[in-house]
Amino acid sequence: MSQKELIQISIILGVSLFFGLGYNVIRDDGIPLIAKKKVYEQADITELERNATKVKLEPIIKIVDLTMTKELYDRGFTFVDARDEIEFSEGHIKGALNVSSIQLAELISFDDPIVTYCSGEDCELSITLAEELADFGFSTIFVFSGGWPEWESADYPVEME
Amino acid sequence: MNFFKNKWIVIAFRLFLGGLLIYASFDKIENPESFAKIIRNYHAFPYAATNMLSLLLPWIELFTGVCLIFGIFVDGASFLTMAMMGVFILAISQAVLRGIDIECGCFKVTEGSSQVGMRRIIEDIIYSGMAFVVWKREVKVGEWLPKSL
């Protein structure tokens, strides 16, 4: 690349930067320049009881720990595994559905609570999935932060395919 | 036939790529939030940078397209087109390789966005080939800045 091209590219990038940022400032629905991850609150059991009877307008996404996840599991909540099909087939929470193979809306109603999980603390798939489900119309989504490793080491029900 | 010496081919490629880039930019410029989400789904860029990318990339596409069509900075614009296609090819390939099924965000970021796949990669390789012809062209016609004649 010659110096002439470098100058031309810099000008095109500079003009784009100016218009990109400028248009974002003047429009009503501009977005922040640095994307920040949303942090979700931890849920507790009492809250679950309250929400069960409340009419919800905003979708609720809450983080749940192992104890509460087991409680939700025992109550028969729908579990959705956000990992890929291979990891899913190697072992998952018993009765969980795999995200890549389901049409969730055909199986449960938008008001039914869902629990999502993936492969633990470093995995963001369960949060991403929860946000997508909320966008799609599901009202209550719990994210099991410990995910598959924590569930498996607690010796709770699992299955393989 | 030597593509690089045929002025009609060079002009046709310039107009085609320019039109394509401008068309691709509109929906993204109007919906930065949706486009940022799609970028995040690729899992190929740092999370914090995704909004900035979503604000910048469509405008780079727009101005690069305008430059190609109107014959302004054609050397720089064709190089930028190749660079962008290179980034798109890498981003889509890693998504396909990892088996993540995501929206492409190539032309539309709201309703009707297509999924990523081999077809997109092949298309982008063809586009970067066209941009290469423009970049290495041996005849300059209809270029106003710097002047061709």
Residues of A whose CB is below 8 A from B59: 15-17, 19-20, 23
Q: Please give the model's pTM, rounded to 2 decimal places.
A: 0.75
Domain-embedded: residue A74:
yes
Q: Are A16 and A51 part of one and the same domain?
A: no
Q: Are A61 and A120 part of one and the same domain?
A: yes
In the prediction, which pLDDT does A136 show? 84
- Report CA B74 to chain centroid distance, whole Å: 14
Q: Are A82 and A133 part of one and the same domain?
A: yes
**Mean pLDDT to the nearest integer, A5-17:** 97
CB atoms inside a 10 Å sphere around CB B41: 18
pLDDT digits (tens, 9 = 90+) for B96-146: 887 776 778 888 877 667 778 889 999 999 999 999 999 999 999 989 888
Range of the domain at A107: 45-159
Residues of A whose CB is below 8 A from B111: none
Q: Report helix, strand and coil shares of chain A as percent, to nearest 5.
A: 45, 15, 40
- The answer to whether residue A6 scores a pLDDT higher than 70 is yes
Domain-embedded: residue A128:
yes
Residue B72 has phi, psi (to 5 degrees) of -115, 130
Nearest to A34 among B48, B79, B100 (CB): B48
Residues of A whose CB is below 8 A from B100: 84
Please state, rounded to an integer, the average pLDDT across all residues of chain B. Answer: 91
Q: Token pair of B52, please? A: 């900035």
In the prediction, which pLDDT does B16 show? 98
Taking each helix axis as running N to C, give the angle between helix B7-30 and helix B32-41, from 0 to 180 degrees, rounded to the nearest 10.
Answer: 100
One-letter identity of residue B75: D
Q: Are A12 and A90 part of one and the same domain?
A: no
**Mean pLDDT to the nearest integer, B61-75:** 97
**What is the number of structural domains in chain A?**
2
B27-30 long-range contacts, Cβ below 8 Å, gap at least 24? B27/B107, B27/B108, B27/B109, B27/B110, B28/B54, B28/B57, B28/B58, B28/B61, B28/B105, B28/B109, B29/A23, B29/B58, B29/B59, B29/B62
Q: Are A59 and A13 part of one and the same domain?
A: no
Best mutation target, B40, B52, B144, B147, to test chain A (most A CBs within 10 A): B52
- The answer to whether residue A11 scores a pLDDT higher than 90 is yes
Best mutation target, A19, A26, A85, to test chain B (most B CBs within 10 A): A19
Q: Are A80 and A96 in contact (CB under 8 A)?
A: yes
Q: What's the CATH number where A123 sits?
A: 3.40.250.10
**Mean pLDDT to the nearest integer, A29-48:** 82
Q: How close are the terminal C-alpha atoms of chain B, in Å?
A: 24
Instruction: Look at B62 and A48; give whichever has higher pLDDT.
Output: B62
Domain-embedded: residue A112:
yes
Q: Give the helix/strand (H/E) hosting A81.
A: strand A78-81
On the 0-12 / 13-18 / 19+ scale of CB atoms within 10 A, B75 is buried
Interface contact A31, partner B, CB < 8 A? yes
Contact B51 A11 (CB under 8 A): no
Instruction: Look at A29 and A20; give whichever has higher pLDDT.
Output: A20
In the prediction, which pLDDT does B64 show? 98
Residues of B whose CB is below 8 A from A31: 32-33, 36, 51, 54-55
User: Could you tell me which of B149, B148, B137, B138 has the C-alpha nearest to residue B17?
Assistant: B137
Domain-embedded: residue A39:
no
The answer for A 56-95 residues in CB contact with B (under 8 A) is 84-85
Percent of chain A at pLDDT above 70?
Answer: 89
Contact B55 A9 (CB under 8 A): no
**Mean pLDDT to the nearest integer, B13-25:** 98
Among A5-14, A133-142, B48-57, the minimum mean pLDDT is found in A133-142
Q: Are A21 and A56 part of one and the same domain?
A: no
Best mutation target, A1, A4, A9, to test chain B (most B CBs within 10 A): A9
Residues of A whose CB is below 8 A from B54: 31
| DSSP character at residue B98 | T
